[in-house]
A = this chain, B = another copy of it.
Amino acid sequence: MSKLLIVGTVAFDAIKTPFGETDKILGGAGTYIALSASQFDIESGVVSVVGDDFPQDYLDLLTDRNVNLEGLEIVKGGKTFFWSGRYHNDMNTRDTLDTQLNVLADFEPNVPKNFQDSDIVMLGNLHPAVQLSVIDQVKNPKLIVLDTMNFWMDSELDLLKQVISKVDVITINDEEARQLSGEYSLVKAARKIRDMGPDYVVIKKGEHGALLFHKEEMFFAPALPLEEVFDPTGAGDTFAGGFVGYLTNTNDISFENMKNAVIYGSNLASFCVEKFGTEKMLNLDKHEVDKRLESFQALTQFEINLA
């Protein structure tokens, strides 16, 4: 069985949307990535840190889904990373209301021996120094996938560029791709970002889908148009988790197979946004996932006979 290593935050989130709000609930990039990847029959492990205020029940939710938590440090007397945000009416933009780094401030990742030979490494959004340290600890992975955001472009650009130069795939949203490249056209932006290192660039456009770039080829996966979007939190991480989970499971990192991975990622992300936080991802059944995959096919496949 192929192995997936995930590094990313395991955290508390408090979320406000036009449809309601939550108290502190289970959140964090590492959590969403792991829950999404756990839809596939793979061996996965999370490297992260929490305080001892983090409930055992939340940890059990992950281990119940065969997510290995040997790499999850629990800091005695420490407080878990906390993020709070409010979404605007369009659900595409949000304000951060509060960020408490807590134990994340001094986090030094420790990749368990059993995951140092992981096939695929998913670097969730975190300080580039943490991402670099994880890259240094793994031995010849087949594929390293990086997720990051504008916050690190603003504050740690040099370090981030070092990380970018060492990865195979970068996932980034459209505005961030523009910021990183200085190009408005996403085609040009992707080309400039490929020049920084990654062979593959995935540009996430939220409700407008995701683009995969490789050399001069492009592939596009729409987001499934939904009746209701309750909470976009974690959608990008769920997408990434589906992407790497599928690639790990199929053990095939060709461009053709990455197209499928993008579709699987979009499919899983479409569930994530239908409930608050991780609720929907914790209660997904395989039948539902497969059925929606058929909707994705119906949504995008056509038959034109080209001469």
A→B interface (CB under 8 Å): 89-90, 184-188, 205, 208-209, 211, 217-220, 222, 225-229, 256, 259-260, 263-264, 290, 293-295, 297-304, 306-307
| Minimum-distance CB pairs A-B, first 7 | A208-B208, A259-B302, A220-B222, A187-B225, A220-B299, A300-B300, A260-B304
| CB-CB nearest in chain B for A293 | B306
When A187-B227, A205-B208, A260-B303 are in contact, do A219 and B290 touch as well, CB less than 8 Å? no
When A260-B304, A302-B219 are in contact, do A228 and B185 touch as well, CB less than 8 Å? yes
When A205-B208, A218-B225 are in contact, do A304 and B297 touch as well, CB less than 8 Å? yes
When A208-B205, A222-B220, A222-B222 are in contact, do A229 and B185 touch as well, CB less than 8 Å? yes
> What residues of B have a CB within 8 angstroms of the CB of A188 in the complex?
227
* Nearest Cβ on chain B to A216's Cβ, whole angstroms: 10
* Nearest Cβ on chain B to A236's Cβ, whole angstroms: 17
For the complex, what is the distance from the CA of A155 to the CA of B213, rounded to whole Å? 44
Is A211 touching B225 in the complex (CB atoms < 8 A)?
Answer: yes
Is A219 touching B299 in the complex (CB atoms < 8 A)?
Answer: yes
Is B263 touching A302 in the complex (CB atoms < 8 A)?
Answer: yes
* Nearest Cβ on chain B to A87's Cβ, whole angstroms: 12
Q: 13 other contacts beyond A89-B184, A219-B299, A219-B302, with CB at 8 A cut-off?
A: A185-B229, A186-B225, A205-B208, A209-B209, A217-B298, A220-B225, A222-B222, A260-B302, A263-B304, A290-B306, A290-B307, A293-B304, A294-B306
* Nearest Cβ on chain B to A222's Cβ, whole angstroms: 5
For the complex, what is the distance from the CA of A184 to the CA of B302, rounded to whole Å? 27
* Nearest Cβ on chain B to A220's Cβ, whole angstroms: 5
> What residues of B have a CB within 8 angstroms of the CB of A186 in the complex?
225
For the complex, what is the distance from the CA of A217 to the CA of B225, rounded to whole Å? 11
* Nearest Cβ on chain B to A307's Cβ, whole angstroms: 7
> What residues of B have a CB within 8 angstroms of the CB of A259 in the complex?
302
> What residues of B have a CB within 8 angstroms of the CB of A89 in the complex?
184
* Nearest Cβ on chain B to A275's Cβ, whole angstroms: 15
> What residues of B have a CB within 8 angstroms of the CB of A205 in the complex?
208
For the complex, what is the distance from the CA of A304 to the CA of B211, rounded to whole Å? 18
> What residues of B have a CB within 8 angstroms of the CB of A229 in the complex?
185
> What residues of B have a CB within 8 angstroms of the CB of A256 in the complex?
303
> What residues of B have a CB within 8 angstroms of the CB of A227 in the complex?
185, 187-188
> What residues of B have a CB within 8 angstroms of the CB of A297 in the complex?
304, 306
> What residues of B have a CB within 8 angstroms of the CB of A211 in the complex?
225
For the complex, what is the distance from the CA of A201 to the CA of B298, rounded to whole Å? 17
When A188-B227, A225-B186 are in contact, do A300 and B208 touch as well, CB less than 8 Å? no
Is B217 touching A185 in the complex (CB atoms < 8 A)?
Answer: no
* Nearest Cβ on chain B to A249's Cβ, whole angstroms: 13
For the complex, what is the distance from the CA of A228 to the CA of B191, rounded to whole Å? 13
